[in-house]
Structure formats: C-alpha cells, structure tokens
Structure 1
C-alpha cells in the first residue's frame, strides 16, 4: 500500500518536468524561473494534499520539487517553491507546525548552497549530485522522528524499518528520474540552438561565397587593363604597376582559395554509364528538336 502512495507522489513530482518538456516546450516563458517555481510549487502543494501520516509525522515528497526547482530553475524558483511549501504546511496546521516549517527552511539550505555551482558539473554528475542532495531532506525527517519519538520504540518494529527504506529509496529514485528528464530538456535546447547556429553559418557561408564570386569579376577586369597599361607605360610607372598587379594577384588567389573551400563537396561518388545518360538526354530533347523543325521559321526567313 505504501509503495502505491509513494509512486503516486513520484508521478506528482514528475508532472512539472513533463509539462515543461512536452506541452509547453516551444513557449519561452515556460523556461523562466518564476514559471518553474510556480509549477513545482503546485506540485509541492499537491504532495501535501495527499500526504501519508505514519508514526505521528506526515510523509510525502514535498521536498523533491524544492530540490529540482532550486538546482535546475535557480534560486528564485527554489524560493518560490519554499513559499508554496510554507503556506501549504501552515494551512495543514498540526501540533508540530513550527517544527514542520523549520524543517522546510533547513531542508532548503543545502540545495540553495549547491545551486550556484550546479551547472559547472557534467550532466551525469548533475544527476548524481541532485540525488545526493535529496538525501538531506530525508536526514531532516529522520532527525525530527528521533526528536519526537523514542528511537528504540520506533526502530524495534520491522514494519517501521521497511517503511523508512521504501520511502528513502523511492524518493531518491524519483529525484533521479526528474533530474534526468531535466537533463534531457537541457540537451534538446542545446541541440536546437546548435542546429539554428549551423543553419545561420551555412547561409552566411553561401552568401559570402556569392559575394566573393562577384568581387572576383571586377578584379579580373582591373587586372587585365593594368597589364595592358604596363605594356604601354615607360619609366617609374612600371614599378608601381608591378606592385598593383602583385597585390591584385594575391587578392585573386585568396578569393579563389575561399571559393574552392566553400564549394559544396560530393557526399556520394559513384560510377555512371555516360552512354545511357546521353541516350536519355537525346530522347528527352528529341521532341523539342522535332517541334522546332516543323514549326520554326525556315532558314533565311
């Protein structure tokens, strides 16, 4: 029964990531810290609404959206989730309300501290780090448990020990899945940006190649006329014309090298039968030749 409840809470904490990655992927505001904080804050309130009471404490995954929002959405998003959590816990009330609010604030300290350097890690390390950070709220829950209950009385029951292991395992697993989904979202965003950048560079390369081709034509004309002038000139002008022709030659070589580099490469090279190709072209153009023969103007007309 407890596994079913914890799996339901796992679905709740994964819902914000699934909404951002699937339904609202193309909206810019869906990646903002405020929206991330509100979405995970609602997930926290939902976890509180379906909390499971055991041994005098409320057991749920309210801290998971806090961790995910803090490390992946930023400190602003994490503080928004913390505000949702404090409001929800206040509405719930109870004998240990103050301790519940204090535990929420203490649980947010470690994610808040690690959120600054979180993005300096590799994707795999970020997932592992998020899972390790998820152990901190569990430690706080256990600390409250030992403060309000006798350890020997609570741990003497096998059912209680099994419950602790199940809760910790499913929560860490849920954090790992949520972190991996966030990494997938980040990877898709980076890949999309790289594709757009590649398309822009390809367009700029084609534009630059066409401009270089147009620049080469007047250079060729200028070089030709300067060569004619050199043949007819005498005296000191020969030295200046030689320098000009040399520099024009360098510019022409640079443009030719760029055009050769920008020329599209053949992706696939294969052998063809030129005789068959010429036969097909001949058959294709034969109709046009016959048309011109019968309907064209007679010679000398």
Structure 2
C-alpha cells in the first residue's frame, strides 16, 4: 500500500512540470513564478490527499514540490507552496500537527536561503543539490518521528517497519532527482531556443549590413579618391574644408568596415601569440583615455603565457571595444579592472567596472545591432566584439547590478598547454 501511494505521488509531483512545459511551449507569457507556484501548490495538496498514514505521520511527496518551488521559482512560487502546505496541515489537525508545521518550515528554510545563488550553478550541480536537500527533508522527518515517539514514551519500542522508511527515502530521492532533471531540460530547451532566435537575427542583420555596406563603400571610395587628388592641388582656403571632408569620409568608412566585420569577421593574419601580450598592449593603449576621464584602469595578469592561434588584431579590437565600454560607463573616480586566468585548455578574461550597471532587460539586449546604453553611439562596437569572439569559438557573458557595476567574462580556447613566462 505504501509503495502504491508513493508512486502515485511521484506521478502527481511530475504533473506540474509536464503541464507547464505544454503551456510554455504554446505561450511564453505563461512563464511566471506565480503560475508555477499555483501548479505546484495544487500538486502538493493532491499529494497530501493521497498520503499514506502510519506511525502517527502522513507520508507523501509534498516536500519534493516545496523544495523545487523555492529553488527554481524563488520566494513567489515557494511561498505559495509553503502557505498552502501550512494551511492544509492546520486544517488536517491531529496529534502531530505541530511536528508537521515545524517540519515544513525547516524544510523550506534551506532552499529559501539558497535560491538566490542556485540558478548560477551548472545544471548537474543543481540536480545534485536538490537531491541533497531531499536528504535534508528526510532527516527532518526522522527527527520529528523520533521526537514524537520520545514524548509518547515509546522511544525504545520498535514497532515500525524499517524497510518502509527506506522505501520512502528511496522513492522521494528518485522523484526529486527526476523532477529536477525535467526542469533542467525545460530550462536548456528555452535557452537553446533563445540562442537559435538570436543567431537567426544576427545572421539576417549581418547579411543586410554586408549588402548595404558593400553598395555604399564603392562610391565612397571613388569620392574619397577624387577629394584626395583635389586636396593635393588645392592651395587656397578650401584646403581646410577638404581636410575636414576627408576626415568625415574616413569616419564613415570606419563605420562601414564595422558593419562588414559584424557580418563576417575577416581573420586575415593568423598567428601564434600569448594572451598576456595583447592584454598589456590594450591596457597601455586605453590607459590615457581612462586617466582623461578620471577612471583608474588596473590590470592583474597571471603568470602563464597562454597561447592563442588567431588574428591578433581582431582580438585586440574586441578587447579595446569591451574595455572602452567599461571606461565610458564608469564615472569620475571609478575603477575598471582587467584580470585573466588560464588553465591547460582555455583562458578567462574578466573586465569589471564600478559604473552605473544595467538592468536585466538591458542585459538581455546586449549584442543586438544598434542597441547601446550610451548617449552617443551606434551599438556596433559591442556587436562586432561579440561576433569576433564567437568566431574564435569563445564565449562572452555579462553580469551587472544597477548602481554597482558590470562584469564581462570572456572565455577563449587555447592552442596548447600554456608555458611559464617572465612578465
């Protein structure tokens, strides 16, 4: 009877995940902690209704839903499930009502504390952590049972079935691991969908930018050539105007080249070099700009000569754009830091600033063509930089808090095992 009830609870606990997966597939607006909390609350109540009563306690999988709600949906979804369970337990009454309430609150306490950093872990680590928290809830149940028997005066009287308790622990552990794996699958699927949509948008914009840039650059080159000939022959007052026109044409040509570079970065000169060399050059190049704006630019480089085989100038351009963005986002008296760390396979570059930061909505639009948080700018620099790193098989991630600052982490694959160098 116990096994049948618990297996039924497993199906009930899986229902919210499957139901939400269908809703999320058809309508992205349905993706809300409130809806997920409501589905989990209904499932938790249903588990309590089909619980197995023995040893003075009701055995079911309500805590599986409680733990996962706090971890994945935060205080909103978890609070809804917790409130529902506490209210239902009070209405059920019985001799163990106090033990049940305390057990529920203590079970919810740890996932509530961990939920802020939980989603920053890797998928496998999240599944492992949920399984550990399941063990925490089972330990609390055992302590409650032992405490209840102590107050009943039956602590030394063993009249409960040990295999039954082990069965409860086994089924609950399998249920929470299975449900966490399904949730992780939904998260991964949504991430892949966003990545595919982003790639399609970038490819479309890249093709459009390339076609327009090619058409504009050809007549621009002709005009620039004739103006240069005119400047050579001009001796009068129009000389300064021709210089100004040529300067603006040069700027327009630079923007067009950015469009072409965004469409398809050209790695014209592939060479082998160490990452530290490029970082030192970029920091030295941007240090005067930082000093002019009253920003402290500091670097802390590791002692390994991590080797890259790619276009040095393209990597340099990407780093210049990202560090320049950090400097421009930092107010007078702020600080921009550049750190790198490497192992045998990849190098990580961290660019952090103490600027105004960005909201989650702004972060989601980073890398979109023409989008910029600066008063003046085209948004091309960041888009080109991300495209260059992506072409190098690298990854760029952003982390920002409004009013605190922004961190940009760049991960680049290496060519071979790094060797020690003297800096």
The TM-score range, normalised by the shorter chain, is 0.7 to 0.9
**Matched residue, 2:156:** 152
**Matched residue, 1:36:** 36
- 1 CA distance for matches of 2:83 and 2:185? 28
**Matched residue, 1:94:** 94
TM-score computed with the length of structure 1 as normaliser: 0.76
- Cα separation, partners in 2 of 1:236 and 1:179, compared to 1, 3 Å: same
- Cα separation, partners in 2 of 1:117 and 1:248, compared to 1, 3 Å: closer
**Matched residue, 1:218:** 219
- Cα separation, partners in 2 of 1:97 and 1:29, compared to 1, 3 Å: farther
CA shift for structure 1 position 255:
4.9
CA shift for structure 1 position 210:
2.4
**Matched residue, 2:324:** none
**Matched residue, 2:7:** 7
CA shift for structure 1 position 236:
6.0
More moved, 193-202 vs 45-54: 193-202
- Cα separation, partners in 2 of 1:253 and 1:47, compared to 1, 3 Å: closer
**Matched residue, 1:132:** 132
CA shift for structure 1 position 173:
0.8
**Matched residue, 2:171:** 170
Any conservation in 1 of the 2:23–2:30 contact (CA below 8 Å)? no
CA shift for structure 1 position 24:
3.8
CA shift for structure 1 position 225:
3.8
Any conservation in 2 of the 1:30–1:36 contact (CA below 8 Å)? no
Any conservation in 1 of the 2:38–2:80 contact (CA below 8 Å)? yes
Question: More relative contact order in 1 or in 2 (CA 8 Å, sep 6+)?
Answer: 1
- Cα separation, partners in 2 of 1:229 and 1:71, compared to 1, 3 Å: same
- Cα separation, partners in 2 of 1:62 and 1:256, compared to 1, 3 Å: closer
CA shift for structure 1 position 49:
0.5
- 2 CA distance for matches of 1:72 and 1:249? 52
- Cα separation, partners in 2 of 1:10 and 1:106, compared to 1, 3 Å: same
- 2 CA distance for matches of 1:227 and 1:5? 87
Deviation string 1:232-256 (CA, Å, 9 cap, x unpaired) is x364689876997798689769857
More moved, 99-108 vs 73-82: 99-108
- 2 CA distance for matches of 1:116 and 1:13? 23
Deviation string 1:174-224 (CA, Å, 9 cap, x unpaired) is 000010111011101111111111112112212211221232243134235
Any conservation in 2 of the 1:212–1:255 contact (CA below 8 Å)? yes
Q: Which has the higher helix share?
A: 1
CA shift for structure 1 position 90:
2.1
**Matched residue, 1:209:** 210
**Matched residue, 2:22:** 22
Any conservation in 2 of the 1:9–1:61 contact (CA below 8 Å)? yes
- 1 CA distance for matches of 2:81 and 2:258? 58
- 2 CA distance for matches of 1:144 and 1:257? 66
CA shift for structure 1 position 259:
4.6
Q: Which has the higher strand share?
A: 2
- Cα separation, partners in 2 of 1:256 and 1:152, compared to 1, 3 Å: same
- 1:58 is paired with a residue of what secondary structure? strand
**Matched residue, 1:77:** 77
- 2 CA distance for matches of 1:180 and 1:253? 49
Bigger Rg, which one: 1
- 2 CA distance for matches of 1:189 and 1:236? 65
**Matched residue, 2:394:** none
- Cα separation, partners in 2 of 1:152 and 1:203, compared to 1, 3 Å: same
CA shift for structure 1 position 151:
3.9
- 1 CA distance for matches of 2:90 and 2:244? 86
